[in-house]
């Protein structure tokens, strides 16, 4: 019995250390205040996007909640104001799956807001489908929508420099590829609908995020705008809300223990947005509030340039 108690104690101890050290991870240590600064956070009606918005509002920033659903966005607006104690929070409708909506958002923002100091490309989807423009849904929302938004706002970001563009990617980018033949033929990263197909396409879209940031940094050289991509950690959030209810139920015990909550999951985003002295690391990829090396495919200059040029055509910028 004493041996069993000892083993149980060791297991509980290891689990405690794992959860509190590995799962929780590092925290953003920047004490930066953002009074007079304006921030856009896409997908900020839920998950780490909303938590990020609350933190930035607490620091004094004027925060634009850029969300697809008006109902959810207005509900989040009330919640962010309540939790941050700030009235400098605004909801603006943005559907990243619609190029028309992205252009309308940018036009409205540029007319009504004189500053932009920080753009956080946080929104993402995990499901198959098509955008209204005929793009693969994950490619269109996770990459093209943010690509167009960033480019439409770059001039304002440059005027207000030093400024930053932070794009939330995923460690899943390590398992991604960019199939340019499929993109040219189908305007999508893949065609399958099985569990593995959808997961693969999601990883592909996250690789696009890292390659986009790599190329963006090159194009921003000589300006006061820097950019970063990141893995927020495995988050117990609503990203998988479109998966089957059975899968969500089966995963609940796992996500509750092994996944970060949204406060923990927002820390690397906040680090990239706020930490002083990151300018020399523009274009790099971060995880657990630390810059990380990436595989050659995630910093392939030729692939990044090719993706950029294709994205210009598909988004109507070229």
**Predicted pLDDT at 245:** 62
Maximum Cα interatomic distance, the chain, rounded to a whole number of Å? 72
The one catalytic residue among 126, 202, 228, 285: 202
> How confident is the model over 82-89, as a mean pLDDT?
97
CATH of 27-233+268-315, one of 3.40.50.720, 3.40.1010.10, 3.30.750.200, 1.20.1090.10: 3.40.50.720
**Predicted pLDDT at 161:** 92
Positive or negative CA dihedral for 35, 36, 37, 40? Answer: positive
Hey, what are 173's tokens?
């980018």
Tell me the pLDDT tens digit for each residue of 137-157.
999 999 999 999 999 999 999
Alpha helices, DSSP H, located in 18-98 = 47-58, 70-84
Tell me the pLDDT tens digit for each residue of 287-312.
999 999 999 999 999 999 999 999 99
The pTM (predicted TM-score) of the whole model is 0.88
Any idea where the domains of the chain sit in the sequence?
27-233+268-315
Hey, what are 67's tokens?
């969300």
**Predicted pLDDT at 16:** 44
**Predicted pLDDT at 23:** 65
- 167 in helix, strand or coil? strand
Hey, what are 272's tokens?
């990239």
Check if 295 is active-site: no
Q: What is the DSSP letter of 268?
A: H
Euclidean distance between CA atoms 206 and 176, whole angstroms: 7
CB 40 within 8 A of CB 12: no
**Predicted pLDDT at 19:** 39
Hey, what are 252's tokens?
């609940």
Hey, what are 276's tokens?
């002083």
Whether omega for the bond prior to residue 97 falls within 30 degrees of 0, making it cis, is no
- 65 in helix, strand or coil? strand
């Amino acid at each position: 019995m004493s041996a069993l108690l000892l083993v149980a104690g060791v297991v509980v101890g290891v689990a405690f250390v794992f959860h509190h050290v590995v799962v929780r991870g590092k925290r953003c240590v920047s004490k930066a205040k953002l009074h007079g600064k304006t921030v856009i956070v896409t997908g900020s009606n839920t998950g780490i996007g909303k938590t990020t918005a609350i933190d930035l509002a607490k620091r004094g920033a004027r925060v634009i909640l850029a969300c697809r659903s008006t109902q959810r966005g207005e509900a989040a607006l009330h919640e962010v104001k309540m939790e941050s104690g700030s009235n400098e929070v605004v909801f603006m409708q943005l559907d990243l799956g619609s190029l028309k909506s992205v252009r309308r958002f940018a036009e409205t923002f540029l007319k009504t807001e004189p500053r932009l100091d920080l753009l956080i490309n946080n929104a993402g989807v995990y499901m198959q489908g098509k955008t209204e423009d005929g793009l693969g849904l994950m490619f269109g929302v996770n990459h093209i929508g943010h690509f167009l938004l960033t480019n439409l706002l770059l001039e304002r970001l440059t005027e207000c420099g030093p400024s930053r563009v932070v794009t939330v990617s995923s460690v899943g980018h390590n398992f991604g590829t960019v199939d340019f033949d499929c993109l040219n033929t189908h305007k999508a990263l893949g065609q399958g609908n099985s569990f593995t197909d959808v997961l693969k396409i999601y990883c592909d879209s996250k690789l696009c995020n890292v390659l986009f940031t790599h190329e963006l940094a090159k194009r921003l050289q000589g300006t006061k705008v820097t950019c970063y991509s990141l893995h927020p950690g495995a988050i117990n959030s609503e990203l998988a809300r479109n998966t089957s209810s059975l899968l969500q139920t089966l995963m609940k015990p796992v996500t509750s223990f092994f996944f970060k909550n949204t406060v923990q999951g927002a820390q690397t985003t906040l680090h990239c947005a706020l930490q002083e002295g990151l300018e020399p690391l523009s274009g790099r990829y971060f995880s657990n509030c630390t810059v990380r090396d990436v595989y050659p495919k995630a910093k392939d200059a030729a692939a990044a340039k090719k993706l950029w040029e294709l994205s210009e055509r598909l988004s109507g910028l070229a």
